[in-house]
Chain A
């Protein structure tokens, strides 16, 4: 398999695309030669540690950092005062609506703190240990204010987080289609259910970190540790510091996972560069895990009341309701994204003509929330799949049948989803195409759905068995564009710079495959560089599962253009027409004469372009699960979990498979293990990895996945669809439905996540009590 990197072939021949090429990144990661931000070497550096509010809500009465600043080895202590008149606010990056403005976070607390973990001061010292020691000497006193920790409390507007705004609800995002009121008034069957999902975290294995290097003579700032959206962040940071964009470079090094939470602009993204400029020395900040749990974006906490309306044959005719989203103390750069998604994507892959859903966003005194893999989609899939399960049961329709009946038929593609009341480039989106029913049947077949039906609700060896289903769509490939710069190097290799960010998804390999096929070169003649603002004129980054489609299409198009340019240069040298030039295996030839790419390199052949896209891609698929519930302990074992999906086109089946398994595992963690808990004072109770539990190797061994390139996407040259999040989206509903089926004799309805053993035990025992009363 290692040999495949050296294979030569015809341009455009796709001998790498579609192959499980071993990753180029692995060569350094396996040897311990990756460079994450904590590994970047520098001289004369200082270390920063952030002093964070220990109280959830209060007016700052007293903040004195003199004693801390005098600790030997401390170079500076930064507070709101140090920054001066205009302390910058962190703006919205996605779903940019004015409603968010009163709720934006300033880069450091000024007169008030609104969550435990909010940055109040930054200590900069010779070592991280000294900086941490100095925290003790900071005098900090507050007039505590009443704490709001639930959407119910927030909604009352009795205690406001932002007095001037007058309310704790910045925005209500509406999704509308057809005429829900009328559909519900005439529907022969309706059912309303309450749901809730717990607060979670992305928890990448690498915490956040930055190394900011201010070069005083050059007035140049270089910041290492960028990820996800370096170009946006660079522009923002430059503005905040009053510098020209050209004076600021954000460098992406190796990144230990992002999952949506790393890379957004956080307070530290300003504070650390500010510290470097203030002290005139490089400043390094490496978040510790305790901080990470209280300072990196939270996600997913929602409660909802949603109603489904059906015909008696199970055709879903309407969906309406309210979803209350707890986004914590501030509106973050992407704080409105999950609320928007949960409303628009509640219908998932199902054809529902009448929709009226409201996502009510609430502020609470908790760590602000942003996006986490499948934002709003995991949540809405849970709601939808549970409603389908209940409707099917009430109407006497088999679980697979009700889904067959309602999956969007291929003939209706492209299929418009509900329209958002708040208009932005993504508010009008449609499923691009796909054979949803076919993939569903394939899943049922792989899983053995029909053959396993006899297990439903059965008690075997002391455990109840159940099977569940769920279907999903995954939106990907957000626009507007992605930038690439390709250059023919003097040794005949090609360097490819791309604006996409690598976050662990194997970007260098995937784009290498695409470039190699496009140029007709062996992969080991291609060098991919990614993310940093030094690399291309414009870049947009990696989010919303876009890097394969956007970065990949940009690379693909650039390859075609590069070959054209090579032909043109060769034609000049040969003295013939460009059409007469043949390219193969890194050489150009015409009528028996030949040059290698290397020989042409002195002609400075370079291509820089952007690939634009305004249409989201929609990977889609189905999940099936077989669980066994131990009624004595409430423990659930996953005996089998099968996913089948269509991603349009598979570039690298190995990396894709890895993404699906990894995201399914995260989904199972969300269902069973992961939970951020606050007490009534807004104190974070789950502050260590012994409290916030993520899956380990022994928890969920039974996941299997199949990914197909069945219906290529019509909207990009690769035919690919974004596919990094689908493995997770349908997990909540699929598992909850399997558990409901297993415990049907107790009529347990799992509508609240997480489904911890304790919760399941109580559900069983409460219903036991009820039935014996």
Chain B
């Protein structure tokens, strides 16, 4: 499984990178961590004429935690895991990243690479969608900001243009009292999720759930928000009984694929279980408040 032939360039600026991508007319691919791209090259499922390596482009690897949480496109999973500020600054993000692949992959895989690759079972895209993150990009035509909900089109397919480069993924401010739960089911630790659920919400003054976000992934399509579940949960007192009913009700209209890993019936049931368990585990989170 030797790699196919390609040219390799390591530009030092974004504009150089954009120019290279443009000139290659869609036949070049960006190389960030390489953890998703390299296996595709090894199987010759991708045969770009050129790889444009971002390793020498500065300014893409910062984590900024202020009003928002901003991750530079070349921020690696291990950077997120080790950042002390994110323990309270965005604990959901850290929890989700703990589920990504394995130790060695987390030392190289990047935020931008994961978003651009758009694997339907990947954790980070799912967190981005459920948190309403925003993706900043640059290209020959300028820069833009894309909402996560608009970013993923289909498995392995995003709205990115061939010469467009992600520079940053930005998450809305995370309140320390916000509760969250993250549950995924995979065959072995670190494998792709067969079904996964993400929940997060605030508690309002009367002890009820507010601003509920519910995300689902691993369903064979793009990561989604479960709007039905959000509607049912908003205004509820958090309790295991409520959670059980709502999780069941929320499954009705969710579109779920059959594939080699799971038939739709099983997957739907798994998702319901993951949602239940994510909600249950949320009861023990957000402990920095009374």
Contacts and interface: CB of A to CB of B under 8 A. Distances in A.
Check A-B contact in the complex, CB < 8 A: yes
A79 B188 CA distance: 42
Interface in B187-235: 187-192
Contact of A693 (B2, B191, B269): B191
A377 to B, nearest CB: 26
24 contacts: A129-B2, A132-B1, A288-B1, A289-B1, A290-B1, A290-B43, A632-B269, A632-B273, A634-B266, A635-B185, A673-B187, A677-B260, A685-B260, A686-B260, A688-B43, A691-B260, A693-B187, A695-B188, A698-B189, A699-B188, A757-B185, A758-B262, A758-B266, A765-B269
Contacts of A585: none
A690 B193 CA distance: 12
Nearest to B1: A288
Contact of B270 (A132, A133, A289, A633): A633
Contacts of B269: 632, 761, 765
A422 interface: no
A762 interface: yes
A218 to B, nearest CB: 33
A677 B191 CA distance: 18
Interface string A715-756: 000000000000000000000000000000000000000001
A765 B2 CA distance: 45
Contact of A757 (B3, B5, B187, B260): B187
A128 interface: yes
A132 B2 contact: yes
Interface string B35-49: 000010001000000
Given A132-B1, A696-B188, 18 more contacts: A128-B2, A129-B2, A132-B2, A288-B1, A632-B269, A633-B185, A634-B266, A677-B260, A686-B260, A688-B39, A690-B192, A693-B187, A693-B191, A696-B190, A698-B188, A756-B187, A757-B187, A758-B266
Contacts of B1: 132, 288-290
Q: Is the interface of A mostly helix, strand, loop or mixed?
A: loop
B263 interface: yes
Interface string A125-138: 00111001100000
Contacts of B39: 688
Nearest to B192: A690
Interface of A: 127-129, 132-133, 288-290, 632-635, 673, 677, 685-686, 688, 690-691, 693, 695-696, 698-699, 756-758, 761-762, 765
Contacts of A634: 266
B160 to A, nearest CB: 24
B119 to A, nearest CB: 11
B26 interface: no
Interface of B: 1-5, 39, 43, 185, 187-192, 260, 262-263, 266, 269-270, 273
A322 B4 CA distance: 49
A633 B266 CA distance: 8
Given A632-B269, A691-B260, A673 B188 contact: yes
The 9 closest A-B pairs by CB, nearest first: A129-B2, A632-B273, A288-B1, A698-B189, A758-B266, A132-B2, A128-B2, A696-B188, A761-B266
B3 A129 contact: yes
Nearest to A765: B269
Nearest to A132: B2
Contacts of A693: 187-188, 191
A290 B189 CA distance: 23
A632 B5 CA distance: 47
Nearest to A130: B2
A559 to B, nearest CB: 47
Contacts of A756: 187
B109 to A, nearest CB: 15
A107 to B, nearest CB: 24
Nearest to A135: B44
B262 A696 contact: no
Nearest to B277: A632
B240 to A, nearest CB: 12
A65 to B, nearest CB: 19
B263 A758 contact: yes
Contact of A762 (B3, B43, B189, B266): B266
Nearest to B2: A129
A17 to B, nearest CB: 39
Nearest to B44: A132
Specify which of A632, A635, A696, A699 lies most central, judged by the most chain B CB atoms within 10 Å of its CB: A632
A650 B93 CA distance: 52
A192 to B, nearest CB: 29
Contacts of B263: 758
